[in-house]
Amino acid sequence: MTNTTKQDRVLIFDTTLRDGEQSPGATMTHDEKIEIAEMLDDMGVDIIEAGFPIASEGDFKAVSEIAERSKNSRICGLARANFTDIDRCWEAIKHAEQSRIHTFIGTSELHRAIPNLTMDEMADKIHETVSHARNLCENVQWSPMDATRTEWDYLCRVVEIAIKAGATTINIPDTVGYTAPDESADLIRNLITTVPGADEVVFATHCHNDLGMATANSLAAVAGGARQIECTINGLGERAGNTALEEVVMALKTRNDIMPWHTGIDTTKIMAISRRVATVSGFPVQFNKAIVGKNAFAHESGIHQDGMLKNRENFEIMLPEDVGLSGTSLPLGKHSGRAALRDKLEHLGFDVGDNQLKDVFVRFKDLADRKKEVFDDDIIALMRTGEDAENDRLKLVTLRVACGTGGPAEATMVMSVDGENKTAICQGDGPVDAAFNAVREVHPNKAHLQLYQVHAVTEGTDAQATVSVRLEEDGNIATGQSADTDTVVASAKAYIHALNRLMVRRGKMGEGADNREINWKDVT
Ligand SMILES: CC(=O)SCCNC(=O)CCNC(=O)[C@H](O)C(C)(C)COP(=O)(O)OP(=O)(O)OC[C@H]1O[C@@H](n2cnc3c(N)ncnc32)[C@H](O)[C@@H]1OP(=O)(O)O
Ligand SMILES: CC(C)C(=O)C(=O)O
């Protein structure tokens, strides 16, 4: 083993399938583990901790199959400090092209009390178990669990014993996420400079995120001389999780100027594996999670969007393509400005002049005030329904519908007819029927409802519903469309839109919409 502290290559040890799976509720099936292991292998992870073979028959089988199938990565299994665990681990991993036994024991005063061992007894146990592991496998990792709360002199002593017994990697776990960056760096530096034989092994860091410092602590440990980072996809893991692979890898790639170390990870594979792990573990990624969150490369506010359109470096420090995204997203919402709206309209194929943009922008802000995110389909719906709205002679002013169990729905509607507000209160068989009855009361007509269609055109429960209504009278047909986050409002507006179109065709108003002398045309 060479002295890796002088090297600039940091090994990535992924423990999604072991520590990650220890997240309550994150259990993965056998096939899912095989699939994730293949993705890890493919993206350049150096060591995959595939499981804890003694834990269950299922874990043993998964680790064995991953070991047999791995192409590039070294496959590691976890074992407690006893021969039974270590032998079982070796059975599972021995067919891997490159294998590793990882054995551990808690060395802090608190953890020494669990098996009730004195310092000397524990030192002996470490020596005999690491030696046993090394007799089976040439690559052995040893971890003093709760290292960051272990007395430093005792830690030095047991690390030296593990090295002498044949450990090739010494992992320093911050098991309970207790350390802080300076201490993390100092601890590794102290071990490397004081423990005899330290320059013959690789030092690793394994951080938990209880105080939100796992990534910072891992990188600090690298600055202190560690050359292996233990991490998981999406930061999955016990309690608040482990160091997130995507964060340390992208931090090293992005700030190579001040952290001159690199990994072998193909970062363009990050998003795909992040999404897959989120799906199979059932742990969705929070929207604002660094690197892989839905919003990590999204800019909603007008000033940021304008800046991004002028030069993406104004607000982005990484290329979305580098993590496997197709590009930055500029989602439209209530904080967006004209620059982003115009850009979106152009992308959607709408050629708008300044005046039209002004009009659309007003309607857009109105919609955005009512809706969390305005999607492409919302914009299309907005453009479609806005066509002739200004000339409409019938307009919906307000609509309230009471509906539910125990009685008919009742709509209270105010409609403007040629500028004059008229009110109707009508019941119906459901909210849409009640609303349509109210329209008919304000504006009596004999048009027959030929088609009524609702499409939820956008995602989520605040989806924009687009409603199409087709009216027919004496063989003449007119359609109306509208979009709104409220399906009943969209329905009433679509109905009114269709009536407006019929009136435009007649070229008259005030004669009553049921005037049979009008020469109807198909206005669809
Ligand atoms: C910090 C970490 O992430 S460590 C890894 C934690 N992961 C897991 O525990 C997941 C898998 N674990 C399991 O499936 C089970 O705990 C098993 C199969 C390993 C053991 O199950 P059981 O035999 O029923 O023991 P149980 O889980 O109740 O208690 C753990 C035992 O391991 C002992 N133990 C814990 N760590 C170690 C160690 N590093 N070396 C030796 N013994 C240990 C404990 O003292 C306790 O022993 P005891 O039963 O004699 O008191
Ligand atoms: C087994 C060890 C490395 C561990 O997971 C921890 O200490 O958190």
> Which tokens hold the place of 487?
């399906």
The residue range of the domain holding 144 is 4-281
Whether 241 contacts 209, CB under 8 Å: yes
Q: State the total domains in the chain.
A: 3
* Mean pLDDT, contiguous 10-residue spans, the chain (524 residues): 65 98 92 97 98 97 98 98 98 98 98 97 98 98 98 98 98 98 98 98 98 98 98 97 98 97 98 95 94 93 91 94 92 92 83 89 90 75 64 90 92 95 96 96 90 74 77 73 86 89 60 32 29
Residue 224 lies in a domain: yes
Q: Are residues 82 and 11 in the same domain?
A: yes
Position in ligand 2 atom list of the atom nearest CA 106 = 7
How much is the pLDDT for 371? Answer: 76
Joined tokens for residue 211: 């105080």
473 backbone dihedrals φ, ψ, rounded to 5°: -150, 125
Tell how far the Cα of 130 is from the centroid of ligand 2, in angstroms: 16
Q: Are residues 398 and 376 in the same domain?
A: no
User: DSSP letter string over 35-69?
Assistant: HHHHHHHHHT-SEEEEE-TTS-HHHHHHHHHHHHH
Cβ atoms 320, 295 nearer than 8 A? no
Burial class (CB in 10 A: 0-12, 13-18, 19+), 403: middle
Predicted local confidence at residue 328, as pLDDT: 87
Strand runs labelled E in 72-210: 74-80, 99-106, 140-145, 169-174, 202-207
Residue 389, pLDDT score: 62
395 and 365, same structural domain? no
Does ligand 1 have an atom closer than 6 angstroms to the CB of 54? yes
Q: Is 242 annotated as a binding residue?
A: yes
Q: Are residues 170 and 195 in the same domain?
A: yes
Q: Is residue 202 within 6 Å of ligand 1 at its C-beta?
A: no
Does the beta carbon of 209 sit less than 6 angstroms from any atom of ligand 2? no
Looking at the structure, do residues 183 and 214 belong to the same domain, yes or no?
yes
Q: Are 246 and 274 in contact (CB under 8 A)?
A: yes
Distance CA 123, CA 111 (A): 13
Strands 420-428 and 448-456: unpaired
| pLDDT attached to residue 364 | 92
Which CATH number fits the domain that encloses residue 272?
Answer: 3.20.20.70
Instruction: Indicate which atom in ligand 2 lies nearest the CA of residue 146.
Output: 7
Angle made by CA atoms 510, 516, 522, in degrees to the nearest 5: 95
Sequence-separated (6 or more) residues with CB below 8 Å from residue 18: 49, 50, 51, 52, 78
**Within a domain: 519:** no
Are the CB atoms for 510 and 418 separated by under 8 Å? yes
Which atom of ligand 2 is closest in space to residue 176's alpha carbon?
8
Nearest atom within ligand 1 for CA of residue 82: 41
Given ligand 2 and candidates 19, 105, 218, which is best to mutate, with the most ligand atoms within 8 Å of its CB?
Answer: 19
Domain stops at, among 386, 410, 435: 386
Same domain, 155 and 67: yes
Residue 522 within a domain: no
Q: What is the DSSP string of 295-339?
A: TTTB--SHHHHHHHHH-GGGT-SS-GGGGT-S--B--B-TT--HH
Domain-embedded: residue 184: yes
CB of 81 closer than 6 A to ligand 2?
no
Tell which one of 100, 104, 176, 218 to mutate to probe ligand 2, the residue whose CB is within 8 A of the most ligand atoms: 104
CA 342 – CA 20 distance, rounded (Å): 44
The CB density around residue 422, as the number of other CB atoms within 10 Å, is 16
**CA count, 13 A, side-chain hemisphere, 91:** 14
**Of the candidates 9, 8, 11, which has an alpha carbon nearest to the alpha carbon of residue 168?**
11
With CA atoms as reference, report the closest residue to 140 among 204, 63, 55: 204
* Closest ligand relative to 177 C-alpha: 2
Residues 105 and 163 both lie in one domain: yes
Residue 524 located in a structural domain: no
Tell me, yes or no, whether 397 and 370 share the same domain: no
End position of a domain, from candidates 246, 281, 316: 281
Residue 159 lies in a domain: yes
Find the radius of gyration of the CA atoms of the chain: 33
Does 277 map to a domain? yes
Q: Is 297 within a domain?
A: no
- Helix runs in 258-415, H state only: 270-281, 302-310, 338-347, 354-370, 376-386
Domain end: 386, 417, 443, which one? 386
**What pLDDT does residue 319 have?**
96
Tell me, yes or no, whether 108 and 199 share the same domain: yes
Q: Are 233 and 193 in a shared domain? A: yes
- pLDDT given at position 372: 74
Do both 334 and 396 map to the same domain?
no
Check pocket membership of 104 for ligand 1, CB cut-off 6 A. yes
Q: Are residues 75 and 174 in the same domain?
A: yes
132 is in an annotated binding site: no
